[in-house]
Amino acid sequence: MIGRTRIEPLVSAENLRRTYRSRKGLFGATTDVRAVDSVSFAVMPGETLGIVGESGSGKSTMGRLALGLETPDRGQVFYRGLPMPPPGTGEWRKLRQKMQMIYQDPLGALDRRLPVLTQIREPLDIHQPAAARANEEAAAKMLARVGLSPEQGARYPHELSGGQRQRVVLARALMTRPDFLVCDEPVSALDVSIQAQVVNLLADLQAEFGLAMLFISHDLRVVRQISNRVAVMYLGQFVEEGSADDLFAEPLHPYTRALVSAAPQARSAGKAERVVLAGEPPNPARRPAGCAFHPRCPVARPECRVTAPELRSVGPARRVACHAVEAEILSFGEVA
Amino acid sequence: MSENRASLVSLKGLTVSFDGVRVLHGVDLEVAAGEAVGLVGESGSGKSVTWLAALGLLPRKAQVSGSATLKGIELIGASPRVLDSVRGGRIAMISQDPASALNPVLRVGKQIGEALALHRGLSGQALRAEALRLLELVGIPDAPRRLDSYPHEFSGGQNQRVMIAMALAGQPELLVADEPTTALDVTIQAQILDLLREIRREMNMALVLISHDLGVISETCDRVGVMYAGRIVEQASAARLFETPQHPYTQGLLASLPPLDGPRRRMRSIPGVVPDPRHLPMGCAFAPRCDRPTSRCLQAQPMLSPLEAGHAVACFHPASAKPGMRAA
Amino acid sequence: MARFLLLRIVRALVTIVLVVTFAFVVLRLSGDPAQIILGPEAPPEAIAAFRKAWGLDDPIWLQYLNYFGAIAQGELGRSMRDGRSAIVLVTERIPLTLALTVPALILKLGIGIPAGIYAALHRGSLADRIVMALAVAGFTVPSFVLGLTLVLVFAVQLGWLPSGGQDSWRHAILPILTLGIGGAAVLARFTRSAMLEVLGQPYIRAASAKGVPWHQVIWKHALPNAAIPTVTIVGFMVGTLIAGAVVVESVFSWPGVGRLLVVAVANRDLAVVQCILLLVAATMVVSNLIVDFLYGFLDPRLRSGAETAKAET
């Protein structure tokens, strides 16, 4: 660090909690459901943090919190070290240009009554309506950059394929030159061969525009491909965090292990031993006491039922929240 | 593999058109008794339509020709009576979204019981006992109580288990599973695939697994057919297909799966988009996206022809995968 | 359940108070009942006496409070025209109206639902197109036009049936047809689209894939599901049994509740109008409650405590 200025995180969050009110039945009692609980993270400029989790893990809520689209009940999100302004304020609106969201369903994100090129230039038209000519040129350039022809730019969203639509959404998001992108399952609705195209494009654009990203997906392969660091979420909390390579090569948390081993492998060799988790996917409305994962955990210990483990650093850039892993480290020293 | 076993289902030249647009261009496929066959392909490749057509489940406006036989019984154009006894009785089907494939206003016990009454003539106590046994077989906890539950009271994974119980009710010889785990979480997907494998082994039932996920197919199936634009473009044993894929589309699919271990490198992608069935190219449908097309590919349609025993490919220029292209 | 009922009843009361208030304001601000009932030739003394007798001299807010006070005590007032109890006036007309609306409802259900199901099952066929063309015609043509056309054809031209009045069952036929045809058209369209929606659901194909014969798929799987949305519209029709024939009763000079309402409004006869409105509101509330219960009966998803606000992730 000597002689260099310390790099500040672009977006960071401390101890976020987001609770939704859920009602049982038409007129039943309400219960509070913690979608996200005690989550802290930091994304450096140009870096990608991947978030992996199943349905109900709170990963999408995380994305909206990070963008400031929702306000946490507790904790704080920071952008370039400054607290996120409350939604709707002028300051917040100004920040929208700097942070953008890419959703799973590009058709829903586009206006079906407008040609896609018009939608790509729209963000510029809003901010600098006078510069119509320049806006037009910038939009056409961006269209080409995401791999679409001018002829495709004149089409309406429903006349494009899913992959092409996602390219349009990307182009539009980049028009205001953001430095932070939240991608929520951006390729999950696409065919396998198209997924690879979009992931590659995303990686290229990230390098070119120096984007930091929060990449949310249930697909471990895609997350590993695009992320520098990865966090695994279970019932609203980070259970493990580490570099993309280490995390998947040597998962520590029993849930991460199960996820990695459950990811089907397309290979000709014999089938690998699999950890198949018993039980149902987590329901945030019925969060177990102690460690939320313990009812499905193959290595659960007595204390797991009582005390929730904390996310502890267990190696270089590696954090894990598990009593069993902690015990293992105590007896064997640092993990490799 | 299939040569040693009796043929169970045989598709020959199966063709489907909707409003004059052909979406299935003559599919030939054999499924042997007890065998697990995978059909892999992207959306619109015709993998689901193939089996809906064979079972007479397409809407009336679909025009189906060709042949689909079950141990010699022709299914295409068969009478409703024949089809109703085959469907659910000898060939059962489960689909991608279990929550919407179960009738929301009927108790699951009743829905399982319906198949038991139709295909095994059970009623009363015997029917309930068998429905209970099936629910337990597919691993639904607290089965006696759950028989009287409605589908919305189950999770997605449990609903798929109920669908499997319902499919097993008629003791079918073949189960067609259409993307059975696509709508489920990864850990639940693993449970369902394990269950399917276990049941197949126990009941000596053949399985056709339709999926876009090469991993799911490779872990479950003996033999695999790869579909593209309404045709089977490559067919081989699972081991061979993943070891030495011949068709450029198969190779591209395998290469576009990012690995979970080893070094990360840029993903190989197949350029372009899946062709519109209304505007198929003249020759090979894959030629516009292929990395080695020749003038012949642009003019003529390659037929699925055996390369060697048990490995067929529809390509004028089949080639073994280049080193390093195999997905881990 | 108790909570549910209580909530519904409170909502119903609020609705009724609003309806009654609205009627009070409109009727009181749109003309002087004394002038209207006694006629333009009436001497000023008679008008003054009439106003005093009916409390029309009081400030408007006091009239309003008095009126509500009376309703709260179950006193619905008397007709300003002949001094008879409003509730008696109204209740003696109810059977006459029901004599039209009940057969009409049976006609709506008996034609509309089967026609809708048939059209859905034979989608795109000639029969489907005929049913739908008739249905569109049936509910785009206003009931007074339909009524007058029927009168023109069956009473004036053919002379088969009387054009108005209430002397025999033959007088009821044309009004019943007028009411029934429009409702059947609405119901046919509604049933058809509900049925088509259900037939497109994956569980219908899954039932076929299970080997369930097609007629059983329709009866056991499709109809119970299609019934759920259809119940709403049928419930609405039940709610209009008492006062849904205003136009038709006027066209055919049928002395039912609807006709009484028209006359009472013309006379600014507040007590009678209020009484009918209360009755209408009460039937609507009751039919809505019935629909809610039927929903619960038909759809298990509403019966049990399914999570309504699913936590998003």
Give the mean model confidence (pLDDT) for residues C119-140: 88
Of B42, B156, B260, the CB nearest to A192: B42
Cβ contacts of A61 on chain C, cutoff 8 Å:
312-313
Cβ contacts of A191 on chain B, cutoff 8 Å:
42-43, 212, 274
pLDDT score of C306 more than 70: no
User: Is residue A120 domain-resident?
Assistant: yes
Residue A157 binned pLDDT confidence (cut-offs 50, 70, 90):
very high
Give the mean model confidence (pLDDT) for residues A9-34: 79
If contacts are CB pairs under 8 Å, which of residues 25-54 in chain A contact chain C?
25-28, 33, 35, 53
Least confident of B301-315, C154-168, C186-200, C270-284: C154-168
Give the mean model confidence (pLDDT) for residues C207-228: 93
Tell me if residue B289 falls in helix, strand or coil: helix
Residue C311 binned pLDDT confidence (cut-offs 50, 70, 90):
very low
- Give the number of beta-carbon pairs within 8 Å between A and B: 135
Kindly state the DSSP code that residue B258 receives in the 8-state scheme: -
- pLDDT given for residue B4 in this prediction: 52
- pLDDT given for residue B214 in this prediction: 87
Which one is predicted more confidently, B313 or C42? B313
Q: Are strands A229-234 and A48-52 parallel, antiparallel or unpaired?
A: parallel
pLDDT score of A1 more than 60: no
Give the mean model confidence (pLDDT) for residues C225-231: 90
User: Is residue B22 domain-resident?
Assistant: yes
Kindly state the DSSP code that residue A87 receives in the 8-state scheme: T
- Domains of chain C by start residue, with CATH: 7-88 (no CATH), 94-255 (1.10.3720.10)
How far does the CA of residue A225 sit from the closest CA of chain C (Å)?
23
- pLDDT given for residue A334 in this prediction: 53
Residue C270 binned pLDDT confidence (cut-offs 50, 70, 90):
confident
Fill in the amino acid letter for C269.
Answer: D
Q: Per the structure, how many domains does chain A have?
A: 1
What is the C-alpha separation between B78 and A108, in angstroms, rounded? 42
Q: Per the structure, how many domains does chain B have?
A: 1
Q: Where are the alpha helices (DSSP H) in C162-269?
A: 170-199, 202-209, 214-216, 223-239, 246-251, 257-266
Average pLDDT, chain A: 87
pLDDT score of A50 more than 90: yes
User: Is residue B64 domain-resident?
Assistant: yes
Most confident of A95-109, A280-294, B74-88, C284-298: B74-88
Give strand ranges (E) for chain B. Answer: 7-18, 21-32, 36-40, 62-70, 73-74, 91-94, 174-178, 206-211, 223-228, 231-237, 305-308, 311-313
- pLDDT given for residue C103 in this prediction: 92
Q: Are strands A212-217 and B231-237 parallel, antiparallel or unpaired?
A: unpaired
Q: How many degrees, rounded to 5, is the angle at CA C135 between CA C101 and CA C181?
A: 20
- pLDDT given for residue A264 in this prediction: 77
CB contact under 8 A, B95 and C202: yes
- pLDDT given for residue A27 in this prediction: 53
CB contact under 8 A, A26 and C308: yes
Cβ contacts of B104 on chain C, cutoff 8 Å:
203, 225, 299-301
- pLDDT given for residue B323 in this prediction: 39
Q: Which residues of chain B have pLDDT under 50?
A: 1-3, 321-328
CB contact under 8 A, C298 and B105: yes
Each residue of A185-230: pLDDT tens digit?
Answer: 999 888 888 899 999 999 999 999 999 999 999 999 999 999 999 9
Best of A152, A161, A188, A191 to disrupt the B interface by mutation (most B CBs within 10 Å)? Answer: A191
pLDDT score of A59 more than 60: yes
User: Is residue B77 domain-resident?
Assistant: yes
User: Is residue B317 domain-resident?
Assistant: no
How far does the CA of residue C300 sit from the closest CA of chain A (Å)?
12
Average pLDDT, chain C: 83
Cβ contacts of A23 on chain C, cutoff 8 Å:
307-309
Each residue of B106-126: pLDDT tens digit?
Answer: 999 999 999 999 999 999 999
The CA distances from residue C98 to B1, B195, C176, C240, in Å, are 76, 61, 10, 10
Give the mean model confidence (pLDDT) for residues C131-144: 84
Residue in chain C nearest A34 by alpha carbon: C311
Best of B84, B175, B210 to disrupt the C interface by mutation (most C CBs within 10 Å)? Answer: B84
- pLDDT given for residue C310 in this prediction: 34
What is the C-alpha separation between B233 and B314, in angstroms, rounded? 5
Residue A227 · residue A206 · CB < 8 Å: no
Least confident of A57-66, A80-89, C21-30: C21-30
Q: Is A258 on the interface with B (CB under 8 A)?
A: yes
Domain that holds residue A134: 112-172
* Positive or negative: CA dihedral A247, A250, A254, A255: positive
How far does the CA of residue C14 sit from the closest CA of chain A (Å)?
20
- pLDDT given for residue B92 in this prediction: 95
Tell me if residue B97 falls in helix, strand or coil: coil
Per DSSP, the residues of A114-161 read S-HHHHHHHHHHHH-TT-HHHHHHHHHHHHHHTT--HHHHTS-GGGS-
- pLDDT given for residue A24 in this prediction: 58
Q: Is A196 on the interface with B (CB under 8 A)?
A: yes
Cβ-in-10-Å burial (0-12, 13-18, 19+) of C168 comes to exposed
Residue C304 · residue C66 · CB < 8 Å: no
What is the C-alpha separation between B180 and B164, in angstroms, rounded? 10
Kindly state the DSSP code that residue C153 receives in the 8-state scheme: I
What is the C-alpha separation between C166 and C173, in angstroms, rounded? 10
Cβ contacts of C296 on chain B, cutoff 8 Å:
none
User: Is residue B260 domain-resident?
Assistant: no
Q: Are strands B223-228 and B36-40 parallel, antiparallel or unpaired?
A: parallel
- pLDDT given for residue B5 in this prediction: 66
pLDDT score of A282 more than 70: yes
Cβ contacts of A55 on chain C, cutoff 8 Å:
313
User: Is residue B130 domain-resident?
Assistant: no
Residue B305 · residue B315 · CB < 8 Å: no
pLDDT score of C305 more than 50: no
Residue A304 binned pLDDT confidence (cut-offs 50, 70, 90):
very high
Least confident of A256-270, B151-165, C264-278: A256-270
Residue in chain A nearest C307 by alpha carbon: A24
CA–chain centroid gap for B247, Å, is: 20
Question: Within 13 Å of residue A245, how many CA atoms lie on the same side as its CB?
Answer: 5
Cβ contacts of A192 on chain B, cutoff 8 Å:
42, 212-214, 253, 256-257
User: Is residue A182 domain-resident?
Assistant: no
User: Is residue A101 domain-resident?
Assistant: no
Domain that holds residue B12: 2-103+172-221
CB contact under 8 A, B190 and A55: no
If contacts are CB pairs under 8 Å, which of residues 272-291 in chain A contact chain C?
284-285
How far does the CA of residue C231 sit from the closest CA of chain B (Å)?
15
pLDDT score of C245 more than 90: no
CB-based contacts of A21, cutoff 8 Å, min separation 6: A30, A31, A32, A33, C309
Tell me if residue B227 falls in helix, strand or coil: strand
- pLDDT given for residue B1 in this prediction: 43
CATH code of B58's domain: 3.40.50.300
